[in-house]
Amino acid sequence: MRIAVAGLLGAIVMFIWQMLSHMVLPIGEMGMRAPQNEDVVLQAIKAELPPPGIYMLPYLSPEGMNDEAVVNAWQAKAKQNPFAFVVVSEQKAEPMSMGKELGVQFASCLLSALIIALVLASTTWTFAPRVIGSALFGVFGWLACVVPQWNWYRFPTDFMIGGLIEQGVGWLLAGLAIAGWLGRRR
């Protein structure tokens, strides 16, 4: 029960921090830009990228990687054009309705915080090392998920930095709640 409560407290702190970082602070939008002519871009996406999915432009298929002529043509195109990583999703009936997304996000925070609480509870660490341990979980997640997006898919550097701030600070704050609960006397 002690671990479950610690995880729940950590999840609540992390969920609130993520809300603040996306809705109040500019951290959650670091690296995001508006297109110069949104309507033209949206029409092109609707016409040329109709099924939901992830699109990388210019595109080189795995099969094409074995064909020297295809690779050379792709390299020439890649040198002449910007790289784009585009996520296309289905339209929502109510675009401002975020109930499902908020539920999934809280569940993600809860499962993450429960893992951290379980690991930290199994140590003999005191309060400060547990808080640092929680923050390091955030840095680990950033290194494992956000840095590869920056490296392989060319996500903007400020997006990557925003991810570090969101995860590092968020799990540091959640770690305060987790370590505080785990360290209290029974």
Flag whether 113 is in a domain: yes
Q: What does the pLDDT look like over 156-180, one tens digit per residue? A: 999 999 999 999 999 999 999 999 9
Flag whether 170 is in a domain: yes
**Cα angle for residues 31, 145, 152 (degrees, 5° grid):** 70
76/97 Cα distance (integer angstroms)? 43
Flag whether 167 is in a domain: yes
The boundaries of the domain holding residue 150 are: 2-32+98-183
CB neighbours (10 Å) of residue 160?
A: 18
Has residue 7 got a pLDDT over 90? yes
Q: What is the pLDDT of residue 186?
A: 62
Flag whether 74 is in a domain: no
Q: What does the pLDDT look like over 40-91, one tens digit per residue? A: 999 998 888 878 899 999 999 999 999 999 999 999 999 999 999 889 998 8
> What percent of the chain stands above pLDDT 70?
99
Task: Report pTM.
Answer: 0.85
The amino acid sitting at 104 is: V
Flag whether 87 is in a domain: no
**N-terminal to C-terminal alpha carbon distance within the chain:** 11
**Token pair for residue 53?**
């999915």
SS3 state at 114: helix
Flag whether 75 is in a domain: no
- In this structure, what DSSP letter does residue 36 have? T
Total length of the chain: 186
Flag whether 18 is in a domain: yes
13/5 Cα distance (integer angstroms)? 12
Handedness of CA 19, 24, 26, 27 (dihedral sign): negative
Q: What is the pLDDT of residue 66?
A: 92
Q: For the chain, what is the domain count?
A: 1
The amino acid sitting at 46 is: K
**Token pair for residue 131?**
């808080």
